[in-house]
Chains A and B, each alone.
Chain A
Amino acid sequence: MNAKSLYLFMATLLVAMLVLAGCAPDEVAPEITEAPMPEPTEPPAPADEEPCLIIGALHGGPINDAGYNQAMHESVMQIKENIPCVKIIEAENVPEEAAATTTMENMISEGAGMIIATAFNHQYPALTLAEQYPDVVFEHAGGWEMSGNFANFFGEPPETWYIMGVAAGLMTETNKLGFVAAFPIGWTNTFINAFTLGAQSVNPDVETIVAFAFDWADSAKEADATNSLINQGVDVVTMHVDSPATVIGTAESRGVYSIGFQSVEAQQFAPEYWISGIGYTLGGKLTWLASTVIDGTWEPIFLRCGIADGCMEMAPFGKNVPQDVQDQVLAVRDDIEAGNVMVFAGPIIDQDGNEVVPAGEVLSVELMSAVDWFVEGVIGSPK
């Protein structure tokens, strides 16, 4: 091949690549295009009004994942709906700590007075920056550290997992429930325990079988794990991974019921065998937090709120869920909202027969994040 024809070929190739890349994001123009490191651009034309507060929000993954990031994105966007004078700068796909630091610094240099960091890995970068920028308020989703201008907020999923467990326990015929999880970390173990306790409350013979994928987004392995659970006789599947799409879609293709988690959008993947699901709806509390920042009354609080406060939401029931099951599940939900049911009230016995929560005591939220045991009836190893 002589040089001329090679260059011609390369040019054709380059054009093809550009067309390929160009046509992809054609259909849905992303509403938020703030790159992790926004390049310095010309100052925007003076707005009609100065924003009353600039909020910088950053997410670990893509905000349209029908999972955790989408739920967090929608919660942040609700602030803007409720307080129109707020300006929101958002960055998605910031999973690493170093990138999170630069992203937050950029947001602050653009005038952000409040930072909302929603990924697990954002906690310590945000805490470090909180010391450097004492005038900026930092809120982290799900963390535990606190300082003068750093606090955290989160929904309380365990009690909603308990409700989902009730639904699963009533729907299962084989008395085996499946749980696909990413890693055996404290919160995941707590969710699995709450789900199992809920199921056992209506169906004492229920077992929950757990399979770990050891990745938050290895879809193929999630499909493998889902199939493996189904082949063990499981007839209800649920999950704690980034996006529920693959697990729910795989269960659907095998004719097995599923329960969603993270975002209530997950239902679209299971038109036939959907039971219900739970998702984060933190918009209301975030609006309140932002309003306290605006009027100067913000204080660092360790904010946890449950389904009764509107911080968690249940998805609609699927079409194959009988009315009496729906009624029973909703009755348990009412009990939880009224505070009549404590999910982790002792005595709670673990897999090995040890009493992990003594009678008369309740597992504290701090301990829930570090749970390394499974309750009786869970099959799988938590460490």
Chain B
Amino acid sequence: MTLLSVLGVISTAIFSGTSLLYTTLGETIHQRSGIVNLGLEGVMLISASAGFAVTAISGNPYLGVLVAILAGGLTNMILGYLVVSRRGNQLASGLSLMFFGFGVSALIGQSYVGAKINPLPRITLPGLDKLPLLYSSLFKFDILIYLAVPMAILIWWLLFRTRWGLGLRAVGESADTAFASGRNPFVIRYQALFFGGMLAGLGAAHLSIAYTMSWSDFMTAGRGFIAVALVIFSKWHPLRAIFGALLFSGAVAFQLLLQSSGVQISPFLLDTIPYVLTLVVLIAWGGTRRQAAPASLGRVYQGSE
């Protein structure tokens, strides 16, 4: 294994982990407010296709990112109406949102499959621009990558250091108690869904506008669900989510490295490494999960009279 291939695993982990991190942060906010959003896959697809389409039309990737963010937040409002206002079952509503997203994103993206866009520009880290292109291009990141870790810190600060975050977590632990102390669980959950959806939209925007520079149906390929798993993996903590996202995408990069370095193991088996790894860590940390999960996660708040 050469230096380039080791650096490459790190680079790929950062590139493809970014969209996972944003989405995981979004789901962390949902779940901290007591809502399991299984529709993330659909939310991401709608955001990725809308952002890509707008970038293709306008030629401006920043406008595309903005639209993707808004599309994510607005799509989540559908879930909000279902599970907060209409008090529907969260799991069933989330899954329907996912299928809704499959269809809507295919419709939005229909004319833009195979379109060539102006991707988000990539900026080389200072000092690295003297290296050969093969190396410098490894660490030539777009703005969304540079903002990913600061965003995780910001979310941590919002959740654990502000009154808004305290209220949000209180609703996730016990909506009735939060209501008794003067908070409105309905409003807070809508806010959490909108904000979290915007983050998922940001992740999706990175996927289609910055990293792959393309749109294809179902292009998220399960990343919405991986994000849900990573929330549990990171024990509902935004900073641990950085580690989770990097570990998962690093494992993908690592198994591709194994494949391409001629290891005589079936590629079918190698492809399962990232998922097996996630499972193993979940099992290993399983014992402490109960204390970490918001107490009323997944429960329908019936309102307090």
Contacts and interface: CB of A to CB of B under 8 A. Distances in A.
Chains A and B bind each other: yes
Interface of A: 1, 6, 10, 13, 16-17, 20-21, 23-30, 61-62, 64-67, 70, 93, 178, 184, 209-212, 214-215, 217-225, 227-233, 242-243, 245-246, 249-250, 253-256, 265, 268-269, 379-381, 383
Contact of B77 (A13, A65, A70, A229): A13
A70 B7 CA distance: 37
Interface string B1-16: 0101101110110011
User: Which A-B residue pairs are the 8 nearest by beta carbons?
Assistant: A231-B8, A66-B114, A219-B212, A218-B221, A228-B256, A379-B262, A255-B133, A62-B113
A178 B260 CA distance: 9
Contacts of A231: 2, 4-5, 7-9, 11, 138, 257
Given A217-B219, A220-B221, A233-B2, 11 more contacts: A1-B186, A20-B71, A20-B74, A21-B108, A211-B256, A219-B216, A225-B260, A227-B15, A245-B213, A253-B137, A253-B140
Contacts of B4: 231-233
B262 A245 contact: no
Contacts of B119: 249
B114 A65 contact: yes
Contacts of A29: 111
B288 interface: no
B155 interface: no
A227 B249 CA distance: 13
Given A10-B81, A383-B266, A224 B16 contact: yes
B262 A380 contact: yes
Contacts of B33: none
Contacts of A212: 259, 267, 271
B11 A24 contact: no
Question: Of B16, B75, B77, B216, which is in contact with the most chain A CB atoms at under 10 Å from its CB?
Answer: B216
B218 A217 contact: yes
Given A211-B256, A228-B257, A254-B137, A223 B15 contact: yes
B213 A184 contact: no
Contacts of B133: 254-255
A241 to B, nearest CB: 10
Contacts of B218: 217
B145 to A, nearest CB: 13
Nearest to A242: B216
B114 A245 contact: yes
B57 A27 contact: yes
18 contacts: A17-B75, A20-B74, A24-B49, A62-B216, A65-B114, A210-B260, A220-B211, A223-B212, A224-B253, A230-B8, A231-B2, A231-B8, A231-B138, A231-B257, A232-B260, A246-B214, A254-B137, A381-B263
A17 B74 contact: yes
Contacts of B187: 1
B89 interface: no
Contact of B217 (A62, A70, A223): A62
Contact of A214 (B112, B219, B223, B271): B271
B122 A232 contact: no
B260 A227 contact: no
B284 interface: no
A243 B257 contact: no
B38 interface: no
Given A24-B111, A227-B8, A93 B106 contact: yes
B79 to A, nearest CB: 12
Contacts of B104: 21
A256 B268 CA distance: 27
B116 A268 contact: yes
Contact of A25 (B110, B190, B259): B110
Nearest to B256: A228
B25 to A, nearest CB: 18
Contact of B113 (A17, A64, A224): A64
Contacts of B78: 13
A27 B261 contact: no
A245 B214 contact: yes
B192 interface: no
Nearest to A26: B57
B69 to A, nearest CB: 12
B134 interface: yes
B65 interface: no
